[in-house]
Amino acid sequence: MKFGKEFVSQMVPEWQEAYMNYSSLKSILKDMSKYKAQNESKAPMASTPQGSLKRRLTLYRAFSGLSGKQRDSSSSKNEDEVILIRSEEGEDSKELYKTIFLNPYEDGAERDLVFFRELDFEFNKVNTFYKKIVKEVVDEADELSKQMNILIAFRIKVDKVGFENVDSNENSSSTSLLHNADDGNHGRSHSPHLDVIPEIEMSNESDFNDEDRNNVAQTNSKTSSIEGFRPAPLEILNHVKINVTPETPVSTLKGLLLSSKTDQTFNKKELRKADGQLNTALKEFYQKLRLLKRYSFLNLLAFSKIMKKYDKVSSRNASKDYLKTVDSSYVGSSDEVNRLMERVEHAFIKHFANGNHRKGMNMLRPTAKRERHRITFLLGLFTGCSIALIVALVILIHARGIMDSKGRTTYMETIFPLYSLFGYIVLHMTVYSANVYLWKRFKINYSFIFGFKEGTELGYREVFLLSSGLAVLSLAAVLSNLDMEMDQRTKSFSAFKELVPLGLFIVVLIITFCPFNIIYKSSRFFLIKCAFHSICAPLYKISFPDNFLADQLTSQVQAYRSFIFYVCYYFWGDFKTRSNNCIDSDIYKTFYLIVAIIPFWLRFLQCLRRLSLEERDIMHGLNGLKYISTIIAVAMRTSNDFHKGIVWKILAASSSGIATIVNTYWDIVIDWGLLRRNSRNPWLRDKLSVPYKSVYFLAMVCNVILRLAWMQSVLGIKEAPFLHRTALTAIVACLEILRRGIWNFFRLENEHLNNVGKYRAFKSVPLPFNHQDDDDEEEEITDT
């Protein structure tokens, strides 16, 4: 793979605009190469090549001797200089580099000037961005330092560890995990690093540098081997409050019913929670450092590559001077990130891995996900089996004339709704696997947006494998039910075969909730957790995965109705004779309406919580009103199905029309961020992941058309040629799932580009403690 493609593939997606524009600089060099080739073709054939002439002229250069005097080498250097690089102070006291081309009057030199002007711009952009992010990391390191000091004191208080033999001076001295070291580090007084709190024995300090090891040795010499540590001072807890965020039902109710100023107790439960939060915070902080290190390395390598290309194209030797400046700049010379990484590793191993280096590093650096050949093999096997079963199903229906049999209506009204449930699930999973493929294809960082744990996220192969496996089970079950006569002789039906759909449903539930580490346990439990948070919407803090999953649930209304039919068919009807009175039951009709409203109601509750407790943005209130309009439309359409009349039809049509207009506008303008009049891409948006603009216009048209699928119900289209009404209902439900798949791609693309615009490449982890410094207290006293 060429470096340009490798460079793009290794970029942090959210920082893509902050990287050096390698392709732009390369295109300038291509223009220079073309210009040079044209000039050489116009020159006389007998002309001497420039390189040859340069070598020949060296025969007549004055000999400078063998002593290597400084004045001779400097004059030779000045003679060979091509560029001069200056450091200037720009806006906001930013250090900017400017290159001066020393041969501006040469033929074609204007292209060199353009190249160095663009190169300086990219270099200053990279250097400024890196300096800015490192400053943010330093500030976060200082905050994590204070949090870790509080945690150590918290541990001592809860575990009631005694330190009677420790020197009082050591007890009174404070320590920090991340701070600007002033004592014993005079040469690095302004560089933040991690000093591990000597909570445990200071015997394994092999990762420290010599200066830190000397400090540890001095500390150990003062105390015995048992007393060779000092605890964090407990007085720090007097200025600390535990952050209580309304993320769970209990914390939400406490926040609503109790005062926020109630006294907090430091107990083991709070300690475990704080340990977990700081564990996660340190791991995320370490990932930041890794990304920063990769950012610096890739850009430095890109500058080296592009300057070597310039030397090759221009036949000059400018790379040495420019790369020397790059190496001496902040992005090339700063060692803050490497030093912080070493200290974080040491601190994490000591305080969260009990000194186990391998365990700690595995937690900090999870292994990258590997593609397995067996997944590809099983995927091909299940896909082939699914196709074969579909062909066998079509042949069976045609050979036995099932479409014209007397039992066709009974089968479509009883057995078909039972199996259609699995069809909706398989289709939704297949569409999601296509979404994952496209997200990965167009470099949309879906795993970061969803918050998947690195190395455990499912790729499109794994998702499609699950959907094809479920398809094989479902189609095999359908064939088992069709392997009987399709007529009115219901006594010949086997009770065992009638239980096949229920058995398949139970198998799917068992696999989903299986506690054993099989069939992607972490992904299954992540899905279950998000589904539980969506069901308990007002009681849990709303995250993007919960929000996204709740939107998926709104497109599976017919699946919930199929589930209600399961309950009615197997518990209220006589499944042995394929008879039931579900459609005529008022209770069934009530639940038929309720289950269709529930997913939209859950989304409304999520919007209500975000409006009242979290972000307090009026847009969430408007979004909630959108779901209220959808609830009204669904209720009117369902009532129109059960109560015939022109009034119900008018109510259903008008409410559905209003809901369609509102939902379509919200999809395209708010969720997708399109239809921007003044954008660089007319009627789209400034940034697009897909290079083909027609795709966006086609998606908008498809969204509008598929949104109008409800019209078949209002217009009274109950059946179509060769299609039973239940089959037509299933097709309409499948169209809604396909519409949701289209929505998924552009919704996540818009979310990704918003993160890119704000350079948000890290998860924000809530910290457990809210500390108040003495300086803050003095300011409050002065103000009062």
- Residue 515 sits in the same domain as residue 617: yes
User: Tens digit of pLDDT for each residue in 240-253?
Assistant: 777 766 556 666 55
In a domain, 386, yes or no: yes
- Residue 269 sits in the same domain as residue 409: no
Provide the pLDDT for residue 53: 45
Domain count, the chain: 2
Q: Which helix (H) or strand (E) holds 99?
A: strand 95-101
- Residue 607 sits in the same domain as residue 754: yes
- Residue 546 sits in the same domain as residue 680: yes
- Residue 600 sits in the same domain as residue 717: yes
- Residue 142 sits in the same domain as residue 238: yes
In a domain, 101, yes or no: no
Provide the pLDDT for residue 500: 86
Q: Which helix (H) or strand (E) holds 770?
A: strand 769-771
Nearest 5°: the CA angle 511, 439, 516 is 20
Last residue of a domain, one of 241, 260, 286: 286
User: Tens digit of pLDDT for each residue in 261-279?
Assistant: 445 567 777 888 888 888 8
Provide the pLDDT for residue 181: 37
Q: What is the mean pLDDT of residues 20-37?
A: 87
Residue 257: other Cβ atoms inside 10 A: 7
In a domain, 90, yes or no: no
Provide the pLDDT for residue 176: 47
Provide the pLDDT for residue 679: 87
User: Tens digit of pLDDT for each residue in 639-648?
Assistant: 888 887 888 8
Provide the pLDDT for residue 202: 33
Determine how β-strand 769-771 pairs with β-strand 240-242: antiparallel
Mean of the per-residue pLDDT values for the chain? 78
Nearest to 731 by CA among 744, 743, 718, 741: 718
- Residue 388 sits in the same domain as residue 519: yes
Q: Where would I find the beta strands (DSSP E) of 441-504?
A: none
Position 159 pLDDT exceeds 80: no
- Residue 276 sits in the same domain as residue 384: no
Q: Which helix (H) or strand (E) holds 88?
A: strand 83-89
- Residue 497 sits in the same domain as residue 620: yes
Ramachandran sector of residue 135 (left: φ over 0; alpha: ψ -120 to 50; beta: rest): alpha
Q: What is the mean pLDDT of residues 350-361?
A: 86
Domain range for 241: 136-286
Position 686 pLDDT exceeds 70: yes
- Residue 276 sits in the same domain as residue 392: no
**pLDDT band for position 206 (cuts 50, 70, 90):** very low
Provide the pLDDT for residue 220: 44
Provide the pLDDT for residue 624: 94
- Which range, of 112-126, 201-215, 459-473, averages the lowest pLDDT? 201-215
- Alpha-carbon distance of 660 to 638, in angstroms, equals 16
Q: Which amino acid is at 80?
A: D
Q: What is the mean pLDDT of residues 601-627?
A: 91
Position 557 pLDDT exceeds 90: yes
Last residue of a domain, one of 270, 286, 302: 286
User: Tens digit of pLDDT for each residue in 531-541?
Assistant: 999 998 888 88
In a domain, 242, yes or no: yes
In a domain, 617, yes or no: yes
- Alpha-carbon distance of 708 to 656, in angstroms, equals 9
- Alpha-carbon distance of 762 to 17, in angstroms, equals 16
In a domain, 22, yes or no: no
User: Tens digit of pLDDT for each residue in 656-680?
Assistant: 999 999 999 999 999 999 998 888 8
- Alpha-carbon distance of 157 to 161, in angstroms, equals 7
**pLDDT band for position 492 (cuts 50, 70, 90):** low
Q: What is the mean pLDDT of residues 106-135?
A: 86
User: Tens digit of pLDDT for each residue in 289-340?
Assistant: 998 999 999 999 999 999 999 888 888 888 888 899 899 999 988 889 999 9
Highest averaged pLDDT of the listed ranges 176-190, 196-210, 678-692: 678-692
- Residue 263 sits in the same domain as residue 391: no
- Which range, of 80-89, 142-151, 655-664, averages the lowest pLDDT? 80-89
Q: SS3 sequence, 512-577?
A: HCCCCCCCCHHHHHHHHHHHHHHHCHHHCCCCHHHHHHHHHHCCCHHHHHHHHHHHHHHHHCEHHH
DSSP conformation letters of 372-434: -HHHHHHHHHHHHHHHHHHHHHHHHHHHTTGGGSTTHHHHHHHHHHHHHHHHHHHHHHHHHHH
In this predicted model, which residue has the larger pLDDT, 87 or 417? 417
Contact 517, 450 (CB under 8 A): no
In a domain, 260, yes or no: yes
- Alpha-carbon distance of 135 to 94, in angstroms, equals 13
Helix (H, G, I), strand (E, B) or coil at 616: coil
Q: What is the mean pLDDT of residues 758-768?
A: 64
Provide the pLDDT for residue 283: 87
- Which range, of 398-412, 683-697, 762-776, averages the lowest pLDDT? 762-776
Q: What is the mean pLDDT of residues 456-480?
A: 92
Position 280 pLDDT exceeds 50: yes
Position 190 pLDDT exceeds 70: no
Last residue of a domain, one of 286, 318, 347: 286
Provide the pLDDT for residue 595: 93
Position 39 pLDDT exceeds 50: yes
**pLDDT band for position 79 (cuts 50, 70, 90):** very low
In a domain, 77, yes or no: no
- Residue 282 sits in the same domain as residue 388: no
In this predicted model, which residue has the larger pLDDT, 499 or 655? 655
Provide the pLDDT for residue 193: 38
Q: What is the mean pLDDT of residues 219-228?
A: 41
Provide the pLDDT for residue 186: 37
Q: What is the mean pLDDT of residues 15-28?
A: 89
Q: Which helix (H) or strand (E) holds 325?
A: helix 319-328
Contact 662, 629 (CB under 8 A): yes
User: Tens digit of pLDDT for each residue in 116-129?
Assistant: 889 999 999 999 99
